[in-house]
Each structure stands twice: as structure tokens, then as C-alpha cells.
Amino acid sequence: MSHLRLAWIYFRISILNEVAYRANFVVQLFQSLLSLGMAIGGLAIVFSHTETLGGWHPDELLALLGVYFLVGGAIGFVIQPSMQRLMEDVRQGTLDFVLMKPAGAQLLVSVRQVQVWKLVDALLGLGVLAVALSRLGGRVGVDQALAFALALAAGVAIVYSFWLALATVTFWFVRVDNILVVFQSMYEAGRWPITIYPSWLRYALTFLVPVAFATTIPAEALSGRLTPGALLGAVSLALVMLAASRWFWRRGISHYSGASA
């Protein structure tokens, strides 16, 4: 419980810092609407030539798009800025100030930096998801909703662990921020169901950079095409990755020598 409170305090401070720059909100809203319009326009062009894309109906792809924006917003809101700050701090030796605080360092570095306007993406994603759900209508029952929530939580946990592990690499190799560019590029591919990609790319998007777990699998859960086995697999992978990235983070931090602070 105290962990949650701590995270909330950090969020609040970051948000208070950001709301001073209200014009940023308008710009972000404009940019988010533009990229949403672009994505929907792309879907419209594709579906003007076909009924289904690799077995996915338009409304199901709309749901996928909603998940893509929702998870992308969550990543841009807290995961990416916090991890970038972590890497910067390791490089400059200023991580000392985090380690001195009497609280779990992993929690602190994970919630320290927030880009509050990225929540616009997440909210738009929720909106798109709501529209998609209303159009899918009766086909989404309680089972699917539960499976979706579970798959979404697992997806976010997997993405978080992946970023934490990547950022932890900074303790050994100081310059890895370019690796993060790889994630950004690959995440773009998650806008479409990964089942349409050739197998080598599918494997890369599942196991190399876990984009599939963040977007396709929750969307599959919603449309009821996710098998219980696959859901179980995603949840177990999430647990394993959370544990593994925590272990790796501890190895990293014991390697940290406070470079130049």
C-alpha cells in the first residue's frame, strides 16, 4: 500500500510540474488526434479493398488500434521517460540520489519521470476501444472481458520488464539509448495483427521485442480468439519476466559505482 502511495506522490509532483505548460496539452492533443486519424484512415483504405485482413474484421482491428494507443500512451506516460531518466542518471552518476532514499530503488526509478500529456494517447485509446466494443456488441461477454484485462496487464508487465532490463544494461555499457529506438520502431508494427507477418518477423515481434503481448494478444482476448493456453502462457511469461528483470536490476545496481557524482 505504501508503495502505491509513494508512486502517487511522484505522479502528482510530476503532473504539477507539467501542468504549468498548458499549451503543450493543446499541441499533444493535436498530434494525438492526427496520428489517430492517420491510423483510422489507413484502416479505411485497407478495408475499402477487403472484408477481413488475415481473418480480422474492421471492428476487431479498431479494438487492436485502441489497445495500441492505450498501451503506447502508458509507455510514453511513465515507462519510457522514467527509464530514459534512469539511463541518464547512471551515465552522470546522479543515481546516487535515488539510492540514498529509504524506499525500494526499483519502484523509485520506475515512476520518477512522467510525461503527463501522453495520457491523451491512452485516453484516446480507451475511446477507440469503447467504440470498437459497442460495435462488436454482444460478441464480448464477461469471459472475454476478464481475459482481456488479464492479457492487457500481462502485456504491460512484459513491456515494463523489457524496458527495465534494457535500461539496466546501462550499468555495464554506458550508451544504449539507441536500443530504445529499436523498440519504438518495432512497436509501430503492433498496429496490425502480428498474425499477418511472415514467421521470422512474428517471432521477432513476440520474443525479441515483445510487441505482440502488448497489442495483438489483448485484442485477440477481446474478440474471443485467444485460447486459454495462450493466455496462461502470456501471464506466466509476464511473471517470469518481472522476476527476471528484477534479478537483473539487482545485479546491475550492485555493479553501479556512482561514476562521477
> Could you list the residues that contact other proteins (CB under 8 A)?
27, 30-31, 34-35, 37-38, 41-42, 45-46, 48-54, 178-179, 181-182, 185-186, 188-189, 191-192, 196-198, 201
For residue 238, the minimal CB distance to other proteins (Å) is: 25
Which of 37, 258 has the CB closer to other proteins? Answer: 37
For residue 28, the minimal CB distance to other proteins (Å) is: 9
Decide: 105 and 98 in contact? Cβ < 8 Å. Answer: yes
For residue 53, the minimal CB distance to other proteins (Å) is: 6
Which of 34, 244 has the CB closer to other proteins? Answer: 34
For residue 23, the minimal CB distance to other proteins (Å) is: 8
Residue 122 neighbours by CB under 8 Å, 6+ apart: 69, 70, 72, 73, 74, 77
CA–CA dist 157, 188 (Å, integer): 19
Residue 231 neighbours by CB under 8 Å, 6+ apart: 147, 150, 151, 217, 221
Which of 5, 51 has the CB closer to other proteins? Answer: 51
The amino acid at residue 261 is A
Helix pair angle (142-168, 177-188), 10° resolution? 160
Which of 135, 202 has the CB closer to other proteins? Answer: 202
Residue 96 neighbours by CB under 8 Å, 6+ apart: 258, 261
- Closest among 39, 97, 50 to 72, alpha carbons compared: 39
Which of 64, 237 has the CB closer to other proteins? Answer: 64
Which of 145, 196 has the CB closer to other proteins? Answer: 196
Decide: 160 and 79 in contact? Cβ < 8 Å. Answer: yes
Which of 4, 20 has the CB closer to other proteins? Answer: 20
For residue 83, the minimal CB distance to other proteins (Å) is: 17
For residue 188, the minimal CB distance to other proteins (Å) is: 7
For residue 222, the minimal CB distance to other proteins (Å) is: 21
Buried b (16+ CB within 10 A) or exposed e, 21-32: eeeeeeebeeeb
**Residue 259, all three cell numbers:** 561514476
